[in-house]
Amino acid sequence: MEKSSKQQRSWLWRWVANNKGVSVLVIILLVLLIIFMLKQVSFIFGPVRQFLAAVGAPIILAGVFYYLLNPLVDYFEEKHHVKRLITTVIIFLVLAALLVWGILTGIPWFRGQVAAFLDKWPEYWRALIKLADHWNRSQQFQQLNIWLNATNQDLTGWFKELAGNYSENGVKHLTALVGTVTATLITLVTFPFILFYLLKDGHDLPKYMANMLPDRFQASFLDTLKAINEQIANYIRGQLLVALAVSIMFMIGYSVIGLPSAWLLALIAGILNLIPYLGTFLSMIPAYVVALFISPSMVVAVTVVFVIEQNLEGRVISPKLLGSTLKIHPVTVLLVLLSAGNMFGLMGVIFGIPGYAILKVLVTRIFAWWKGNSKLFSDQLE
C-alpha cells in the first residue's frame, strides 16, 4: 500500500524531494517568502504584542510552577487513583500554608539581614574612605585628578542636561513605574488561577489540540508535543535545582570565610543563577563589593569560594541535575545567549535556551519527515 502511494506521487514531488539542491533552494525560497509576507502584515503584530505582554507574564509563571508540580499530580493519579482536582486543591492549600509561614518568618529574617548590613555600614564606610585616601595620594590618581579637572566643565554640563531631561520626563517615569507595579500585582493575582486549571485539565490540552488536525497528523503532532514538553520540563526543573544547589554552596562558603550577610548574598546568587552562564558572574558583584569594604584578604577568600563553586557546579552538579537531556553543545549555548540577548534583552537570555530546544525539536522532526519521504537518504535508512 505504501509502495503504491509513493508511485502515485507526481513527477514534481519526486523531482523536488529527491534532489538535494532543489530541496535546499525550495526551503530557502519558502523562508524568504514567509519573511516577506510577515513584513507586509507587520501592522497586525502590534495588538498581538500588546496581548502577549498583558497575558505572557502570568502564563509563563504558571507554566514554571506547572512543570514543577504536575509530576506530583500525575503520581497520585496514576499510582493511587486520586482525582486531579483533589490533588490540586491539596497542593494549593499546602502552598498557601507555606506562603503564610514564609511571610511570617522570611520578612523578619530579611529585615535582620538588612539590619546587620546597615550596622556594619560605618565600618564599610571607614574602609572606603581609607581606600579613597590611599588612592588620592597615589601618582596615578593625581594624573586622573588633573584630567577630571580639565573636563569638569563638560561633565557638569552633561549632568545638568541629564537632570533637566529627567525632570521633564518625571511624569512619564512615574507613570511607567505605576504601570509596572500594577502589571506585577495583576500577574501575582491571576497566575494562581491559570496554574489551578493547568494542573487540573492541562493533561487534556494536547489531545484537544490534536483533534483539530486530520487523523493522519494527530499521532506525529502528539509525539512532537511530548518531546517539546520533556525538553521544557527538564530545563525548568534542572535550572531550579541547580539554583538551589548554588545557593546552598555559596551560603556554606560565605559562612566559612566569615563574609557578612552570607545568607542574603547566597540567596541573590541562587536567583541570578537562573540566568544561564551570566548569572553566576553577576552574583559576584555584590559579594565583591562587600568584601572590598572589609579587607583584601576577604576579596581573595571570596574568589576562592567562587572558583570552588564554579568547579562543583560545572563538573558535578549541572551534569548530574541537567545531564545531557537538552543535548546542546556549550558553544551553541553561548551563541544562543549572545544572539537572543542582543535581540530580546534579558528575556532573550532567560528564554533563549528553552526556545532553542523547542526549535531544535521541530527542525529535527521536519528533517526526519524529509528523510522518510525522499530517496536522497535511502542508503542511510537501510
For residue 46, being part of any structural domain is answered with no
**CA–CA separation, 232 vs 360, rounded Å?**
12
| 322-350 confidence digits (pLDDT tens) | 655 677 777 787 788 788 878 877 778 77
**CA–CA separation, 348 vs 327, rounded Å?**
20
For residue 29, being part of any structural domain is answered with no
Mean pLDDT score of the chain, rounded to an integer? 79
Closest to 266 (Cα-Cα) out of 253, 278, 279: 253
For residue 313, being part of any structural domain is answered with no
The alpha carbon of 344 is separated from its chain's Cα centroid by a whole number of angstroms, namely: 12
For residue 69, being part of any structural domain is answered with yes
Kindly provide the b/e burial profile for residues 108-131, where b requires at least 16 CB atoms within 10 angstroms of the residue's own CB. eeeeebeeeeeeeeeebeeeeeee
Dump the DSSP string for 218-230.
Answer: HHHHHHHHHHHHH
Q: What percent of the chain has pLDDT over 90?
A: 14
As for how many domains the chain has, the answer is 1
**CA–CA separation, 174 vs 305, rounded Å?**
41
| 216-231 confidence digits (pLDDT tens) | 888 888 999 888 888 8
For residue 71, being part of any structural domain is answered with yes
Range of the domain at 122: 54-135+178-202
**CA–CA separation, 359 vs 332, rounded Å?**
13
The whole-number pLDDT of residue 381 equals 41
Closest to 70 (Cα-Cα) out of 191, 199, 193, 192: 199
Q: Which residue has 499530580 as its cell numbers? A: 73
User: Distances in Å between the alpha carbon of 234 and those of 18, 175, 183, 228, 321?
Assistant: 37, 39, 29, 10, 9
For residue 185, being part of any structural domain is answered with yes
